[in-house]
Amino acid sequence: MNGKRGLLLVTVLVALCGLLWTLKPWESGAADLQQVRKERLSHIRAALTRNDLQLGQPILIRIFKETDELELWVKSGGKYRLYKTFRICSWSGSLGPKKKEGDGQSPEGFYTVSRGQMKPDSQYHLAFNLGYPNAFDRANGRIGSYLMVHGKCASIGCYAMTDKGIEEIWLIADEALKGGQTAFQVHVYPFRMTDAHIKRHVGSPWLGFWTDLKAGYDRFEQNHSDLNVTVVNKRYRVTP
Q: What is the pLDDT of residues 165-203, one digit of tens each?
A: 999 999 999 999 999 999 999 999 999 999 999 999 999
Q: What is the average pLDDT across 210-223?
A: 98
| Cross-strand partners of 232 | 235
Q: Which of 89, 125, 150, 187 is catalytic?
A: 150
Residue 132: its pLDDT value, please?
98
Q: Which of 89, 125, 158, 187 is catalytic?
A: 158
Residue 50 clears pLDDT 70, i.e. is over it:
yes
Q: Are 94 and 69 in contact (CB under 8 A)?
A: no
Cα-flanking dihedrals φ and ψ of residue 146, to 5°?
A: 60, 45
Q: Active-site residue 89, yes or no? A: no
Residue 165: its pLDDT value, please?
99
Q: What is the average pLDDT across 226-233?
A: 98
Tell me the percentage of the chain whose pLDDT exceeds 70.
88
Q: What is the pLDDT of residues 28-38, one digit of tens each?
A: 588 999 999 99
Residue boundaries of the structural domains of the chain: 1-30, 31-239
Q: Active-site residue 150, yes or no? A: yes
The set of residues, in sequence order, having a beta carbon less than 8 Å from that of 35 and lying 6+ positions away, is 26
Residue 214: its pLDDT value, please?
98
Residue 6 clears pLDDT 90, i.e. is over it:
no
Q: Are 129 and 147 in contact (CB under 8 A)?
A: yes
- What does pLDDT average to over the chain? 91
Homologous superfamily (CATH) of 31-239 is L,D-transpeptidase catalytic domain-like (2.40.440.10)
